[in-house]
Amino acid sequence: MTATRRIAIIGCGMMGREHMRNIALAPGAELVAIADPDAGSRNQAANLASPLGQEPAWFETGSDLMSAAKPDAVIIASPNHTHFEVLGEVMPHEVAILVEKPLCTNVEHAREIARRAARYPALFWVGLEYRFMPPVTRFVERVHGDETGQVRMLYIREHRFPFLPKVGDWNRFNRNTGGTMAEKCCHFFDLMRHTLQEEPVRIFASGGQDVNHLDERYDGEVPDILDNAFVTVDFAGGARAVLDLCMFAEGAEQQEEIYALGVRGRLDVAIPAAKVIWSPRDRSGPVVERVETPKDALAAGDHHGATYFQLRHFLAAMDEGTPPMLNALDGLRSVQMGAAAQQSIATGQPVALDFTDNGDEFA
């Protein structure tokens, strides 16, 4: 790093505090300010800051933070449904931005932010950090290195625990999250595009809310978030991808598993096992590669080191003036795919996607 970067965080719930821990590990980063309207979240973050050696200034609103703290970069980790408004407060200051996924909770807002980001003079990065889990990064490197040959099928499975409690229970309702397919699964739709290096043309999904949160009531309302789904995505080059999501599978040995099946064989990666396994069609495998993640990066968050490595790339892009590895168009595409999956589940019909503009509108 060429200079110490002054970082601010807007939103210090679970993900904001994960960013705090990772900023403490990153050379060249100083946490100078935090904003959150919830006193309880600020108290939890304050209790974390001192052991990390951080002394940020505290604010209730992002606009107050931006006026007083004047950071070099802002990480936006506020609830999903606030992203559009918070970005409207931050972008006029022309600081580097890392906004957590999903970019926005609906396609219209995500498209508007992508338009603004195309003209934005500073770094604009969308936090689809699953690309940066070291075993997943290695898996994608090997696919892009043509080890499998042309990939014809890609399978992503996430079997995990239910959505965690959040401040004000905002994540119990589609209107606040964008729906499970956008809130949770935008990561996986991004990984599909990133791994295959193609755009999707059709999505067909089946899912439901069958187990989780059905006995909960918030001001008399029952949560409406999906807890399981199968999603099939057809891509422009002929590949097919499948997402298998279950959020009542806390006992699963592996939380995430990805398989790429190409003309030469199958490549797998699993988290937390952190193994990349090559199974060539000539049956000379399997060949196992173990991909280690530094223990301090693992301990700093719940995303297998991804938040740490994303932050390092973000800071490097600030210093070097290089483009973001995940831009607003990537954020928009992941929201579009999530919204299409939600629509397909609601209607029982496949949804066509037309990305033939190739992002020209946002160039």
Instruction: Name residues whose C-beta falls within 8 Å of residue 62's C-beta, 6 or more positions apart in sequence.
Output: 10, 35, 74, 76, 78, 86, 89, 90
**CA angle centred on 335, ends 316 and 230, rounded to 5°:** 115
Distance CA 32, CA 54 (A): 8
Three-state DSSP class for 173? coil
Residues 174/346, Cβ–Cβ less than 8 Å: no
Tens digit of each residue's pLDDT (9 = 90 or more) over 259-289: 999 999 999 999 999 999 999 999 999 999 9
Distance CA 73, CA 321 (A): 13
pLDDT at 140: 98
Q: Which residue has the tokens 């990064």?
A: 137
pLDDT at 134: 98
Q: Say whether pLDDT at 1 is over 70.
A: no
The dotted CATH code for 131-292+327-362 is: 3.30.360.10
Please state, for a pLDDT cut of 70, what percent of the chain lies above it. 98
Domain ranges across the chain:
5-127, 131-292+327-362
Tens digit of each residue's pLDDT (9 = 90 or more) over 68-125: 999 999 999 999 999 999 999 999 999 999 999 999 999 999 999 999 999 999 999 9
- Please count the other Cβ atoms lying within 10 Å of the Cβ belonging to residue 150: 12
Tens digit of each residue's pLDDT (9 = 90 or more) over 121-133: 999 999 999 999 9
pLDDT at 129: 95
CATH topology of domain 5-127: Rossmann fold (3.40.50)
Q: Which two tokens stand for residue 338?
A: 């999530």
